[in-house]
Amino acid sequence: DAGVTQSPTHLIKTRGQHVTLRCSPISGHKSVSWYQQVLGQGPQFIFQYYEKEERGRGNFPDRFSARQFPNYSSELNVNALLLGDSALYLCASSQTSFENIQYFGAGTRLSVL
């Protein structure tokens, strides 16, 4: 069975641009969470979506948004990119919104120049 897949693997953008990151959860998983991992730090929670509804939001500005589709895949959008948005963006899926075991994808590495 396929694990959590994220695309693209790497991305280079310039300041002020917009970016969309994509995530496909494990088959049968209905919850998707997004994390930002800045180099040298632990991942920080951005969003959780379950059944297409936002179930949690971390301390990130409104430039960050996400959505979940009927097939449970998800997109993370970041507008007006800043240099500080450069990071590894991780997606994790779980069967339910309260399921405590999350399975992580390999991430999308975003570089903002």
Binding site for other proteins (CB under 8 A): 4, 31, 33, 35, 40-45, 48, 50, 55-56, 58, 90, 92, 94, 96-107
Beta bridge partners of 75: 22, 67
Q: Does residue 83 sit in helix, strand or coil?
A: helix
CB of 4 to other proteins, least distance (A): 7
- CB proximity list for 94: less than 8 A, separation 6 or greater: 29, 31, 33, 100, 101, 102, 103
Q: Of 43 and 78, which CB lies nearer to other proteins in the complex structure?
A: 43
The reply to whether omega before 8 is within 30° of 0 (cis) is: yes
Q: How far is the CB of 109 from other proteins (least distance, A)?
A: 8
Our measurement of the distance from residue 54's CA atom to the centroid of its chain's CA atoms, rounded to an integer in Å, reads: 13
- Name the residue nearer to other proteins (CB basis): 24 or 31: 31
CB of 15 to other proteins, least distance (A): 25
